[in-house]
Amino acid sequence: MKNSPTASTRLINFLGSMNLAISLLVVLAIASIIGTVLKQNQPYTDYQIKFGSFWFDLFQSLGLYDVYSAVWFLGILAFLVISIATCVGRNTPGILRELRHFRENVQEKSLRAMKHQFTLPVSMAATEAQTLAQRILASQGFKTRQKAAEDHMVVAGMKGGANHWGYWLTHLGIIVICLGGLMDSRLPLMIGEWQGALKPETRNMPASEVPSVSQLPTSSFSYRGSVDIPEGGSANVIFLPVRDGYFVQHLPFDVEVKDFRVEHYSTGMPKSFESDLVIRDKDLPKPMEATIAVNHPLIYKGVAIYQANFGDGGSRVNLRLHPFNNQYAAQDVEGNIFKDYKLTSSNQQYKLELTDFRLFNINDMEEPDGTTKKTNLGPSVSFKLRDATGQAMEYQNYMNPVSIKGQIYYISGVRSTPAEPFRYLHIPVDPKGGMERFMRFLSNMQDQELVKKSALETTRDSMQQAAVKSPDVENQVVESMVRLTTLFAAQGSDGVMQEITERFPEDKRESASEAFMKVLNASLRSIYQETLKQEGVTGEATDADLAFFDDSLLAIDKISAYGSPWFVQLTNFKHIEASGLQITRSPGKDVVYFGSVMLIIGVFLLFYVAHRRIWVWIKPLENDQSEIVLAGSTNRNLPEFEHYFKRLQETFRQAMVHEVKHVSSTGSD
Amino acid sequence: MSVPQEAIESLLEQPGLFKRLNLKDWVWAAIVLAATAFVFVNYGKVMDAYEIGILALSAPGLIGLGWYWKAFQPYALAVAACSLLGIWLYGGDYGNAEQVFGLKFLFSSQSAVMWMSALFVLATVTYFAGLFANNGFTLKTGSAITWAALIMGFTGLMVRWYESYLIDPEFGHIPVSNLYEVFILFCLITGLLYLYYEGRYKNRTLGGFVLLVISAAVAFLLWYSFEKGADKILPLVPALKSYWMKIHVPANFVGYGAFALAAMTSVAYLLKAGGEKRNPQGFTATRLPPLEMLDDITYKAIALGFAFFTIATILGAMWAAEAWGGYWSWDPKETWALIVWLNYAAWLHLRFSKGWRGVPMAWWAIVGLFVTLFAFLGVNMFLSGLHSYGEL
């Protein structure tokens, strides 16, 4: 090194230093961890809630929500690539020398100083020894150079130069991979954003209305985005998610989803997702049809189309709204998923927001023996019911009745926020397979006349049996029956309990509630009898009828907390699915693969080929005698080389000593 | 002057590969080829082009492995015999798993894996007993038990492969698809790698150390199957239905197995180095192999692991490009694979370029195992992402 290295030499020394390279490897590894611990590219509101505004802002300014696109992260990567390139550039002249030079001008002294060296006196002329040494080395796969000086001769051999190719292939391979990755990166978008020519859209709106500053032309070099296309629909754009927004990327063709299919195993687990696609492009004589599936994409014009996920594509559903209140009328609604509908047949305004339809619902169901089993509950519709104040409850209603522990129910899940689990309302199914009996029973409970009438009958019956005759008592009992029944029908058992709490001091409540429940139960029973009579059922109530009565009361008890004035029954549907397609154009892929192959070949050459050198230094002695010095070196796998060198020593000894003996014995002839 | 040219020629002549092979090697090659042909004739119709390609390449691969490592030949034949026996005992009826004695107690996949587990633990104890007693025969017994465990374990996987088709032809798949199955694979590959080095270096004293890590995996495996019922054969999710799985997963586990082996030889290194410092006549200083040898095995294992891990990660990227639409998505599993790779790349650079050896590198290799373990297990347990097949 010169006395005063210039700034550029110092820079190159720094960039090409091993310490920097190793530090960068470690720094990159540590930086990569961040993105695995902090979930990337989530909605920004989630981060805000999680971290609070101070940390949210700090993390945002550090780009932690999309670490792998953050400038500082890309900077580390670029730094690493520059460091590798500098290393390769700095080491290449030395390696070329190493590969070209056989070092036949080596000094005897330095050979004798080597770790692997061996001196052997041989009884043969130096030229003869030289020829033989050359042949031995050549037979072992060494390339050789020879030198004849005045007082000595040298045979220098080497093999395994491919080891150095391993160095180039691995390091250049990494650079090639990074360049390929750069070709597919979003660098152009980042530059466009930085220049102000592009800006991601954050509002939820149809692609056609997105301003042009968020639109990307079909000529984009690389992209990777996704789009959901309903069956029968088509699209010529995809959405590229960027931080908390998106860009609209135009495709050079139209994709139509003709059909989307999910196939299931016998266990109900999904077996395959497939979409039948039609590609329309002015360059095609006629539309091209193709089927894609998970692991089987379609590649057209360098653009790959993948089956990524699926969802509802706006299924048509028929709903029957059964009112829980007999003042409302039943109504039918026909609508599409993702659309909103106004409901008016009540004294309040409601908005029905249809959110999802599912054809299959594989749930864990408890069997009669207590074990759980995955069961398909069939189609369901999910919706939100929003009242005039903007409050919404979320529901998931199953179309088909579900059998639970031998009883059959219509079930509906309800929750007020997506974070909660669903609570379920179980409405018992009547012998005709509908919910008519339940609705009639409920309606009868709210019918003052009917309640009064059956209360009177019940009271008279029981008073006759008890041989009591007192109009006062009778009126009192009937009145409480009616009041309690109305209370129960409107507010459930909570309403009754509240009444008790209000009217009785604490020490009397227990006996009061016992009495109340008796009265209420008698009333409800008689109303139920009346309901059965209206249905045309005669004779004694069966066990099934009694179980239905109990289940009905359990359900009615929960209606007040159910939050909806209707039970929404799914009566019919036309399933329209949407196929979620991931569409990418990645011209750098083949570059990356090429770099990967370089890397793999290089790794094996580096580890499993050793660059070995052998020198044979031959010193002529008198009487056709000579002395040879055998020395060797390697840059890998020293233990193996030790074995090898010992064997080589033996070969030299046998070849040269054996021959000498032979020569002398024949020479005496 | 007449020089006996023949003598020199014979000395110079390097015996070619084929001359170094004996009759056994040729029989081995013939068996592998015959088996490959049998598979192709019987099942070629249901294999896609890639699978036929994998089959065609695995034949020379197996032959080469058997020629390079002779002990692999009898091992593979024993596994084949046991597996075929198990399949024959099934006779096409999955119900036989509980009925036929040979299946219920030996060769049904669950029984075979139980045998593997028990034998691995027994081998660990035996190896350590041999080391403490300084008894060659006990150590030899340890090797024999390890071989037996490996035979049962591999048989278990093979039979499980068959069972998956017996339960339902649609379920059928190679048993490398979930955490339970790959844990068995991990035990097998680590065990085989160890036995290779044991034969190569003619030293059995490291057996206990390496089998310790296998025993830990066995403990997890048992907990996982008893507590979580993970040994149940389930059909594949659509994302895993790909020929890539057949090569990506095993390549990965050669990497994981080799890294685990390197960490355990490093533990031995640290014990030996510490022992030599404290008491050169002491137990660890005298019983354990020389430091150079431990260092060499560690390096060889990390190099092998690194090479296969590189291949596996690249195969994974290629699969990701086909399944998820991008060869690199910075998914947690991908990122952690990169972290593992960078970690060992740094290790290798320090060794090659800076010539680092000894205690710090041994510590690093042990830390490397924990990094690997997190990539292998921790990601599935603590982080979510695309790679969610192996969830606990």
Strands A392-398 and A270-280: unpaired
pLDDT of B249 > 90? The answer is yes
Q: Tell me, what's the pLDDT at A666?
A: 39
Q: Is residue B31 part of a domain?
A: yes
Highest mean pLDDT among A27-31, A288-292, A377-381: A288-292
Q: How many residues does chain B have?
A: 392
Q: Is residue B78 part of a domain?
A: no
B319 and B197 in a common domain? no
Between residues 203 and 262 of chain A, which touch chain B (CB distance below 8 Å)? 224
Q: Is residue B84 part of a domain?
A: no
Q: Tell me, what's the pLDDT at A70?
A: 86
Chain B closest-CA separation from residue A60 CA (Å): 19
Between residues 298 and 317 of chain B, which touch chain A (CB distance below 8 Å)? 303-304, 306-307, 310-311, 314, 317
The answer to whether A655 contacts B8, with C-beta atoms less than 8 Å apart, is yes
Q: Is residue B218 part of a domain?
A: yes
Rg, Å, chain B Cα set: 22
B22 and B125 in a common domain? no
B232 and B258 in a common domain? no
Query: Cα(B325)–Cα(B316) distance, rounded to whole angstroms?
Result: 12
- Looking at domain A104-160+610-656, its CATH architecture is 2-Layer Sandwich (3.30)
Per-residue pLDDT of A188-228, as tens digits, reads 999 999 999 999 998 888 888 899 999 999 999 999 999 99
B111 and B173 in a common domain? yes
Q: How many domains does chain B have?
A: 3
pLDDT mean over A9-19: 84
Give residue A453's pLDDT band: very low, low, confident or very high (50, 70, 90): confident
Q: Is residue B363 part of a domain?
A: yes
Q: Which of A159, A295, A598 to mutate to test the interface with B (most CBs of B within 10 A)?
A: A295
The answer to whether B238 contacts A25, with C-beta atoms less than 8 Å apart, is no
The answer to whether A36 contacts B379, with C-beta atoms less than 8 Å apart, is yes
* Exposed/middle/buried for residue A154 (C-beta within 10 Å: 0-12, 13-18, 19+): buried
The chain-wide mean pLDDT, for chain A, equals 87
B358 and B327 in a common domain? yes
Between residues 221 and 240 of chain B, which touch chain A (CB distance below 8 Å)? 234-235, 237-239
Q: Which of A22, A35, A662 sits opposite B346 (nearest CB)?
A: A22
Q: Is residue B362 part of a domain?
A: yes
B253 and B389 in a common domain? yes
pLDDT mean over B370-388: 78
pLDDT mean over A63-75: 87
B317 and B339 in a common domain? yes
Between residues 362 and 421 of chain A, which touch chain B (CB distance below 8 Å)? none
B104 and B39 in a common domain? no
pLDDT mean over B86-94: 89
A-B interface: how many C-beta pairs under 8 angstroms? 144
The answer to whether B238 contacts A271, with C-beta atoms less than 8 Å apart, is yes
| Residue/partner pairs of A298-303 with CB below 8 Å, 24 or more apart | A300/A253, A301/A252, A301/A253, A302/A585, A302/A587, A303/A251, A303/A252, A303/A253, A303/A583, A303/A584, A303/A585
Q: Which of A68, A139, A224 sits opposite B325 (nearest CB)?
A: A224
Q: Tell me, what's the pLDDT at B66?
A: 95
Name the residue with higher pLDDT: A545 or A289. A289
The answer to whether A39 contacts B346, with C-beta atoms less than 8 Å apart, is no
* Exposed/middle/buried for residue A58 (C-beta within 10 Å: 0-12, 13-18, 19+): exposed
Residues 6 or more apart from A629 whose CB is under 8 A from it?
A: A108, A111, A112, A117, A118, A119, A120, A615, A616, A617, A619
Q: Is residue B121 part of a domain?
A: yes
Give residue B234's pLDDT band: very low, low, confident or very high (50, 70, 90): confident
Q: Tell me, what's the pLDDT at A662?
A: 45
Q: Tell me, what's the pLDDT at A668?
A: 38
**Domain termination residue (choose one: B236, B261, B282):** B236
* ipTM of the modeled complex: 0.93
Give residue A157's pLDDT band: very low, low, confident or very high (50, 70, 90): very high
pLDDT of B88 > 70? The answer is yes
Q: Which of A106-115, A142-151, A363-372, B208-217 comes out lowest in average pLDDT?
A: A363-372
Give residue A175's pLDDT band: very low, low, confident or very high (50, 70, 90): very high
The answer to whether B342 contacts A25, with C-beta atoms less than 8 Å apart, is yes
Name the residue with higher pLDDT: A349 or B297. B297
* Exposed/middle/buried for residue B202 (C-beta within 10 Å: 0-12, 13-18, 19+): exposed
| A425 φ, ψ (degrees, to nearest 5) | -105, 125
B381 and B279 in a common domain? yes
Contact A42/B at CB under 8 A:
no
**Domain termination residue (choose one: B217, B236, B255):** B236
Residues of B in contact with A294 (CB under 8 A): 238-239, 241, 323
B255 and B212 in a common domain? no
Of all helices (H) and strands (E), which one includes residue B299? helix B291-323
Name the residue with higher pLDDT: A511 or A236. A236
Give residue A468's pLDDT band: very low, low, confident or very high (50, 70, 90): low
B272 and B158 in a common domain? no
Q: Tell me, what's the pLDDT at A518?
A: 84
Name the residue with higher pLDDT: B29 or A514. B29
Domain assignment of residue B38, given as a range? 12-68
Q: Is residue B75 part of a domain?
A: no
Q: Which of A503-512, A569-578, B13-22 comes out lowest in average pLDDT?
A: B13-22
Contact A18/B at CB under 8 A:
yes
Contact A22/B at CB under 8 A:
yes
pLDDT of A442 > 50? The answer is yes
B48 and B24 in a common domain? yes
Contact A27/B at CB under 8 A:
no
Q: Which residues of B46-84 are buried (b: 16+ CB within 10 A; e: fewer)?
A: eeeeeeeeebeebbeebbebbbeeeebbebbbbbbebbe
* Exposed/middle/buried for residue A338 (C-beta within 10 Å: 0-12, 13-18, 19+): middle
pLDDT mean over A533-539: 82
Among B141, B325, B31, CA closest to A580: B325
Chain A closest-CA separation from residue B313 CA (Å): 10
**Considering the entire predicted model, what is its pTM?**
0.83
Per-residue pLDDT of A349-408, as tens digits, reads 888 999 999 888 877 777 666 667 777 888 999 999 988 888 889 999 999 998 887 788
The answer to whether B353 contacts A18, with C-beta atoms less than 8 Å apart, is yes
pLDDT mean over A257-286: 89
What tokens does B36 get? 């490959």
Contact B41/A at CB under 8 A:
no
Q: Tell me, what's the pLDDT at B94?
A: 86
**Domain termination residue (choose one: B212, B236, B260):** B236
Chain A closest-CA separation from residue B343 CA (Å): 7
pLDDT of B331 > 70? The answer is yes
Q: Where are the domains of chain A?
A: 7-97, 104-160+610-656, 187-313+577-586, 316-573
Per-residue pLDDT of B182-206, as tens digits, reads 999 999 999 999 999 999 999 999 9
